[in-house]
Amino acid sequence: MPMNKDEQMTLSQRVYPELSLNVITRQEHNISRKQISENALKVLYRLHGAGYDAFLVGGGVRDLLLNEIPKDFDVATSATPEEVRKLFRNCRLIGRRFRLAHVMFGREIIEVATFRGHHQEQNTPTASHAESGIILRDNVYGSIDEDAERRDFTINAMYYNISNYSIHDYANGIEDLEDRLIRLIGDPETRYREDPVRMLRAIRFAVKLDFDIEEDTAEPIERLAPLLRDIPAARLYEESLKMLQTGHALETYHLMRQYGLFQQLFPVIADHFTPDYSSKAEKMLDMAFDSTDLRIEEGKRVNPAFMFAAIFWYPMLSLAETLMEEKNLSYYDSVMEAGNILIDRVVKTIAIPRRHTATIREIWQLQLRFPRRNGKRAFRLLDINKFRAGYDFLEMRGLIEGGDVEELANWWTTFISAGRNMRQAMVNDLGNSAPQGKKRRYRKKKTASGKPQTQE
């Protein structure tokens, strides 16, 4: 039987149903050029002046329509990356999966992407699909219509046209913006299979914008969460920072967990999850994310190492307990070894850079050193580079664990704020209440909970 016209459609045409363009003129929307970064405008005008189409797209348009300040401005154009480079001296071409031009203005980078087209054939040198449906390379250029169909969510497929200041809305993004909905363009399952990171992005935007995830867009997530296994660890690291270090960590974690995504990203913690969120590990997550969010709200710097140290502390301690039993190691050695094993495991999924894993280890090691305050030890600890992070960490543990750990944290709180004489008196006091013999025993002594013994 001959194929009818529908059956002859290529795969990509079926996946990406044709979108209908809705143009919103300058008079009908609230975006003014004053809200757009000067550098982004420069890029748009120069591309336009050279005869190319040039649009602001993505988060820039979405956030301005919501009266929010965009994090950055992305540009989409008909010029190829090479053509973009010819127009800007301050331009770098980057990316393998997506070839992009970065136009650099000091600290501000304007990302310029060429309109992307559909893959008509598979496994050509410019576009390739793996068996799982994931897109490996994606350098087929196309029209703006095709570009819109390749974008993830309807609210991310709105283009601000520099030639007449109108907005091209390809996927009813305006309507979803009004209804406050995160909705994938096209068939959700196919779009997640092409790029499973879109599941994380759905959560991220839902939390950041305080939108709901539309039903059909939400439905496949829990089922497809395991696909994140195929994503390179470097990309997951970048994405995890966007999710957990931008001021909405607590809410993002809870929503990710609801969809089974947090467990995928951090498998070592899944064993510590309880139905009522009551384990120490879970309390630590709540506390660490909450304090991260607070710091960002207060305009303070956040250190990813601190957050990762918190996420993995209790899983690491469980492992240390096992090692202590199995290998008859001291508490100190078992924690050190468990730390190494755990970090090696974690970086296979999330490529935490070495400088951060070094800090995670330092924060953990400090936890073992805090109880040991005799002689000059407490004074020396104060001078350690990561002391503050270690102390903040101890404080969280104190709130979670109570008992000895809380007492220890309180001791340090007083010590930090005390003057020289008072500090010396505090240390002398320890000497009186901690008999010599006990100090030696500390290293080998195990406790049921695996937490370090204080010396008093």
**Which range in 192-200, 210-218, 340-348, 358-366 contacts ligand ATP by CB under 6 A?**
192-200
59 binds ligand ATP (CB under 6 A): yes
197 binds ligand ATP (CB under 6 A): yes
φ, ψ of residue 56 in degrees (nearest 5): -85, 140
The C-alpha atoms of residue 100 and residue 157 are separated, in whole angstroms, by 18
φ, ψ of residue 306 in degrees (nearest 5): -60, -45
Residue of 29, 116, 168, 198 interacting with ligand ATP (CB under 6 A): 198
Query: Is 333 annotated as catalytic?
Result: no
Residue 350 corresponds to which tokens in the numbers above?
A: 């999330």
Catalytic member of 63, 138, 147, 152: 152
Say which entry of Mg ion, ligand ATP, none residue 197 contacts (CB below 5 to 8 A, set by partner kind): ligand ATP
119 binds ligand ATP (CB under 6 A): no
Residue of 41, 50, 72, 102 interacting with Mg ion (CB under 5 A): 72
CB of 144 to Mg ion, least distance (A): 18
286 binds Mg ion (CB under 5 A): no
CB of 57 to Mg ion, least distance (A): 9
**128: Cβ–Cβ under 8 A, 6 or more apart, which residues?**
119, 122, 135, 136, 137
Say which entry of ligand ATP, Mg ion, none residue 349 contacts (CB below 5 to 8 A, set by partner kind): none
Say which entry of ligand ATP, Mg ion, none residue 214 contacts (CB below 5 to 8 A, set by partner kind): none
Catalytic member of 63, 74, 138, 176: 74
156 binds ligand ATP (CB under 6 A): yes
Catalytic member of 72, 290, 333, 392: 72
Our CB check for ligand ATP shows the closer of 198 and 397 to be 198
Residue of 58, 117, 186, 450 interacting with ligand ATP (CB under 6 A): 58
Query: Is 72 annotated as catalytic?
Result: yes
The C-alpha atoms of residue 164 and residue 146 are separated, in whole angstroms, by 21
97 binds ligand ATP (CB under 6 A): no
Task: For the segment 238-267, give every residue that binds ligand ATP (CB under 6 A).
Answer: none
Q: How far is CA 402 from the centre of its chain?
A: 31
**424: Cβ–Cβ under 8 A, 6 or more apart, which residues?**
none
Give the closest residue to 309 by CA, choosing from 356, 268, 344: 356
CB of 198 to ligand ATP, least distance (A): 5
Query: Is 74 annotated as catalytic?
Result: yes
The residue nearest ligand ATP at its CB is 59
72 binds ligand ATP (CB under 6 A): yes
**Which range in 20-28, 171-179, 193-201, 376-384 contacts ligand ATP by CB under 6 A?**
193-201
User: Would you name the residues annotated as active-site residues?
Assistant: 72, 74, 152
Which residues contact Mg ion by CB under 5 A? Answer: 59, 72, 74
Which residues contact ligand ATP by CB under 6 A? Answer: 58-59, 71-72, 74, 151-152, 156-157, 195, 197-198
